[in-house]
């Protein structure tokens, strides 16, 4: 069973998403957030083609866009936004760059996504990939990210956990119910009538009562 790097990102967000992707597929709604991210990605790629590599603190190299990378060992594949080939004969030659439209902090799922790209590139090119970048579109800034052995080990673990969910048709517990609020699958999860939602509702109602009188 082959899985995608996007599955890893989603697994970190909530393992139950894997169930909806593979075991019992459900219709997916394209949210405004997703549409916006897509348009930002497209715009970035157009602009990025005209920019210099200095932005990444790399002196020279060729840029490739939307490169498919894969690992036979892990049965894993994905598409990295930008791959830089520095053509260095020593040290690291290839640098993966993942672009994000978030204006929030860089979350773990994005870090693991980058690590998974790095592992695929290492296997494909037989060269070490110890560093990559996350490019934050609203800031127009690239953040260097070190790819550690611990992250790689965790990727291997996640890949086997994802395969287990699929093989055993396991309906996992939510990673964190706080995430359900912004999740595109929330209408399919019956346990999302969350205490924190209830708290918010009650707090809002108290506010309304205070403002308008009982």
Residue in 40, 63, 189, 197 binding ligand SF4, rule: CB under 6 A: 189
Q: State which H helix or E strand residue 195 sits in.
A: helix 195-212
Backbone angles phi, psi at 22, to 5 degrees: -120, -40
CB of 56 to ligand SF4, least distance (A): 33
Question: Which residues, in sequence order, are bridge partners of residue 64?
Answer: 83
CB of 16 to ligand SF4, least distance (A): 4
Q: Which is nearer to ligand SF4, 78 or 174 (CB)?
A: 174
**Residue 193: left if φ>0, alpha if ψ -120 to 50, beta else—which one?**
beta
Q: What angle do CA 119, 184, 46 make, to 5 degrees?
A: 55
Q: SS3 of 107, please? A: coil
Residue 186 sits in the site that holds ligand SF4 (CB under 6 A) = yes
CB of 28 to ligand SF4, least distance (A): 12
CB of 73 to ligand SF4, least distance (A): 29
Where in 115-174 is the site for ligand SF4 (CB under 6 A)? Answer: 174
Where in 5-64 is the site for ligand SF4 (CB under 6 A)? Answer: 14, 16-17
């Amino acid at each position: 069973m082959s899985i995608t790097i996007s599955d890893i990102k989603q697994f970190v967000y909530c393992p139950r998403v894997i169930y909806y992707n593979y075991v019992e597929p459900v219709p997916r709604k394209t949210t405004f957030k997703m549409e916006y991210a897509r348009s930002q990605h497209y715009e970035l790629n157009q602009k990025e083609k005209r920019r210099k590599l200095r932005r990444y603190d790399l002196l020279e190299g060729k840029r490739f866009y939307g490169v498919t990378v894969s690992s036979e060992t892990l049965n894993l594949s994905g598409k990295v936004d930008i791959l830089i080939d520095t053509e260095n004969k020593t040290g690291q030659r290839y640098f993966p760059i993942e672009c994000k439209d978030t204006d929030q902090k860089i979350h773990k799922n994005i870090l693991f996504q980058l690590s998974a790209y790095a592992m695929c590139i290492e296997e494909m090119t037989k060269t070490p990939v110890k560093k990559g970048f996350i490019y934050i579109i609203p800031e127009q800034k690239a953040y260097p990210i070190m790819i550690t052995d611990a992250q790689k080990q965790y990727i291997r673990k996640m890949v086997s956990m994802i395969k287990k969910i699929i093989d055993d048709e396991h309906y996992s517990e939510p990673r964190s119910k706080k995430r359900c609020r912004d999740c595109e699958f929330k209408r399919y999860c019956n346990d999302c009538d969350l205490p924190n939602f209830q708290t918010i509702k009650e707090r809002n109602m108290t506010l309304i009562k205070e403002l308008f009188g009982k």
